[in-house]
Amino acid sequence: MLLALVQARSLLVLGVVSLFFSQILALSVPTPRHIDGQTPFLPPQGERKHRSGVLPPLRNTVGWVDPRLNGGQFLDYTTDTLGEPLNIIISSESDPDILTESGMQTYIKSIGFSRECLGLHYGHIHDADLGDGLGRKPEQFLGRQHYFPIIGTCWESIRGGHHFRAWRQNGTEANSGAWFLGASQEMDSSKNHMIVDDGYNRGRNYIVERATAGSHWRGMWWKAEVEWRDGLLESGNQGVNHGIEQDGLVAILTVHRL
């Protein structure tokens, strides 16, 4: 009987000591924070996925509005169940002319892109919901790599290369004026323009590299700054068209006129 009491007392003491040290350790480990210092880097347990992202929707972003605040997402709608990542945002803090469609058409020529071959669209039209109150809306235009003058984008349609789809966030619920791009690198027409391995990351990086290096077109010069954001997209291939993995990073470009 005495031995049993001693053992019980020992277990109680060990339990109290263990609880004490667990509380000390919890206080000593800082809560991870997102780069803006406001949003926790890890969302609450059980809420790891927020639409297409991992972080909860971000508020008070400068030059763009997180589509997830109003039910949108960072995957477009290629089908009803699969989409491609909106992996570049051109902030509305950019050169005001770029925020217009005609100005954007001029700018993309400076970084090696142009409208589709002979102004004709080939392939499937994608929708995107930017959370701006307009719901799912079709791409405003598609830019293809412009290999050489006049019919350079026709060669991209045949040979494959880099391209992007573009939507502007301009509805009444989020009228930021920012451009959201879904960039990728695709195979040639004989393979039905299938996205290459790592094609979403490659397509995004190709545009970012050219924009940040500086560009010009007919006497106009631009240079972009980039901010990388994680947590807006979930890395991997869940819900991603063609099952191709991507790293989950979104490039926020601010393009300055020089």
Say yes or no: 10 and 66 in one domain. Answer: no
Say yes or no: 116 and 16 in one domain. Answer: no
Say yes or no: 144 and 232 in one domain. Answer: yes
pLDDT at 160 over 90: no
Asked if 51 contacts 28 with a C-beta cutoff of 8 angstroms, the reply is no
Any domain includes 246: yes
Any domain includes 36: no
Domain count, the chain: 2
The H or E element spanning position 251 is strand 250-257
**145 DSSP 8-state letter:** E
Say yes or no: 183 and 56 in one domain. Answer: yes
Percentage of the chain lying above the pLDDT 90 cut: 64
Buried b (16+ CB within 10 A) or exposed e, 15-35: eeeeeeeeeeeeeeeeeeebe
* E strand map for 100-234: 113-114, 127-129, 136-138, 141-145, 161-168, 179-186, 215-217, 220-229
pLDDT at 5 over 60: no
Any domain includes 214: yes
Domain of residue 211: give its range: 42-257
Any domain includes 37: no
Count the neighbouring beta carbons within 10 Å of the beta carbon of residue 218. Answer: 7
Report angle CA 103, 172, 66 to the nearest 5 degrees: 80
pLDDT computed for residue 149 by the predictor: 66
pLDDT computed for residue 151 by the predictor: 61
Say yes or no: 86 and 183 in one domain. Answer: yes
What pLDDT digit, counting tens, does each position of 21-46 carry?
A: 334 333 333 333 333 433 333 334 33
| Among the ranges given (9-13, 55-59, 252-256), the one the predictor scored with the smallest mean pLDDT | 9-13
Stated pTM of the model:
0.79
More confident residue, 152 or 67: 67
Say yes or no: 120 and 247 in one domain. Answer: yes
Any domain includes 57: yes
pLDDT at 142 over 80: yes
Confidence band of 146 (pLDDT split at 50, 70, 90): confident
Any domain includes 35: no
More confident residue, 192 or 1: 192
Say yes or no: 80 and 164 in one domain. Answer: yes
Say yes or no: 14 and 57 in one domain. Answer: no
Say yes or no: 23 and 101 in one domain. Answer: no
Say yes or no: 72 and 181 in one domain. Answer: yes
Report the C-alpha gap between 51 and 82 in whole angstroms: 12
* Listed ranges 13-17, 80-84, 93-97, 147-151; the one with the highest mean pLDDT: 93-97
Say yes or no: 22 and 53 in one domain. Answer: no
How does DSSP assign 13-76, residue by residue? HHHHHHHHHHHHHHHHSPPPB-TTSSSBSSPPTT---BTTBSSPPP-S-SSS--GGGGT--SB-
Say yes or no: 147 and 221 in one domain. Answer: yes
